[in-house]
Chains A and B, each alone.
Chain A
């Protein structure tokens, strides 16, 4: 490998291009000193002790030749008789890819730009503003996943422990960091009704037929089993 090859170029040894600033030389040296320090985390298992000390010596020699502008000028003059302009390395070269890696042409594949996001409060920017959260409650009983698939959509829904109450729904939602505003956007149900629903304010909720629809939408939004959620919640509304 490269270490036992011919004496290397000082710029290469520091993973820099010939156009590097004095500051870059300084910082690259500090970084590489750490990289090759005795027992250093990232190299101790890759290099034999003599290889590591050889690498240290090379980096130090390069630094000594380049850190002082006068010595650097002399080195530059001797290194390369005037020729065509050399291209400055990209940021990846700085890590030493150019110096040691076999021909690596393609840049790391960039991931396509962000995918389309639905309208609504969740869409878009990182980071989301932190939402003040209620004090954590006691450990939650983990949720059971239903054993049958929803007929309309094959994905297996979740089951909340019975009985499903407003507060259990609220806790389930909050544990997933989903806001009422978001559910409202997705379901077109007013936030106020969602609040009543989660507070078990049954007398403030709309007529049963509407309530059933609201509950179904709410459950679907959170991946809950629609029928079981609606039935369980309504059994308490009726009684």
Chain B
């Protein structure tokens, strides 16, 4: 898998000052469009930079990049597309300032065709270069959907955040996203073709083995291919998405994060956690509409306050306590 790819030695990376282990890749996925992934990415990036981290925001929404707008910037002249097309050699060449000390941006591809057909080697190239950047946090804003392009970025991240809003469509999509991501991960350790086929079949609702969830899949694998079970279990255990509930309007919305965690554990066998929530606020869309950086434009809003808390919690590895804890 991409994580195991050898380092790209053609990288003329700057002198590495930060130990590699300190550097982190965070990603924000969500399965559905228009739920605030970009807004949250820009806001988390901003807050990380304001508390002294060196951050690179990456608009990995290759077909519909607009992260620059959340930062009050025009589409930069050079984007990830230029790097993908090898019009520039270094990822640093498409790194632009944002005006916030410590916060830089790699804008998404403006070239839609190039983006739609990104190949595995290109993904690996992007990831290797990003990993080689001399920064504290690389924050990826993923596009909508559960395509491999998106999932692969999600899976290589040290912190994989899943944005949801308290609406049925968003939640359905986030479950689909979780299953797709987990199955892709399992596929990487399947060991043999029969197990791989079983995993592939699991996403088909009418599969012959009656697999509907990762729990079912593990059971069937244990029955039919006991040798493969252990490796799959280990992957499932290591898979740890973190929910961020956006556009929260009341207490019931707030609880949705806990319900998702419980539902994932009980019915998917996935250990997720609830990182935090962000209230719905007019100040957010007002800032977006005026193409302003929300966190600075409405620094005193409740939403901004929650983003500051969320950032702190993520840095500490804290999660929201359960309702009765």
Contacts and interface: CB of A to CB of B under 8 A. Distances in A.
A74 interface: no
B114 interface: no
Interface stretch (B33-41, B67-75, B122-130): B67-75
Interface stretch (B2-10, B144-152, B195-203, B269-277): B269-277
A67 interface: no
B54 to A, nearest CB: 8
A178 interface: yes
B11 to A, nearest CB: 13
Main secondary structure of the interface of A (DSSP, over half): loop
Contacts of A40: 259
A186 interface: yes
A181 interface: no
Contact of A122 (B52, B305, B311): B52
Contacts of A182: 101
Interface string B13-25: 0000000011010
A55 to B, nearest CB: 8
A175 B297 contact: yes
A186 B102 CA distance: 12
Given A147-B78, A155-B97, A95 B261 contact: yes
B216 interface: yes
Contacts, number: 260
A96 B265 contact: yes
A100 interface: yes
Contact of A42 (B263, B270, B319, B322): B263
A113 B96 contact: no
A128 interface: yes
Interface string A71-115: 000000000000000000001101111011111111011111111
B233 A103 contact: yes
A94 B322 contact: yes
Interface residues of A, number: 82
Contact of B100 (A113, A116, A176): A176
B238 to A, nearest CB: 7
B204 interface: no
Contacts of B297: 136, 175
A151 interface: no
A144 B72 CA distance: 10
Contacts of A117: 51-53
Contact of B95 (A34, A106, A155, A221): A155
A177 B296 contact: yes
A142 B69 CA distance: 8
B263 to A, nearest CB: 5
B256 interface: yes
Interface string A118-129: 100011101110
A60 to B, nearest CB: 16
Nearest to B274: A95
Given A116-B52, A223-B97, A91 B305 contact: no
B188 interface: no
A130 B299 contact: yes
Contact of B73 (A27, A128, A158): A158
Contacts of A101: 215, 236, 265-266, 269-271
B99 A108 contact: no
Given A2-B266, A106-B238, A111-B315, 19 more contacts: A28-B324, A31-B259, A31-B262, A34-B255, A45-B168, A91-B325, A94-B322, A94-B325, A95-B262, A95-B265, A114-B51, A116-B52, A147-B77, A154-B95, A155-B104, A173-B99, A175-B297, A177-B293, A178-B101
Query: What 8 A-B pairs are tightest by C-beta distance, nearest first?
Result: A117-B52, A223-B97, A110-B317, A177-B296, A27-B324, A42-B259, A130-B300, A145-B76
Interface of A: 1-2, 15, 23-24, 26-28, 31-32, 34-35, 40-47, 91-92, 94-97, 99-106, 108-118, 122-124, 126-128, 130-131, 133, 136, 139-140, 142-147, 149, 154-158, 172-178, 182, 186, 221-224
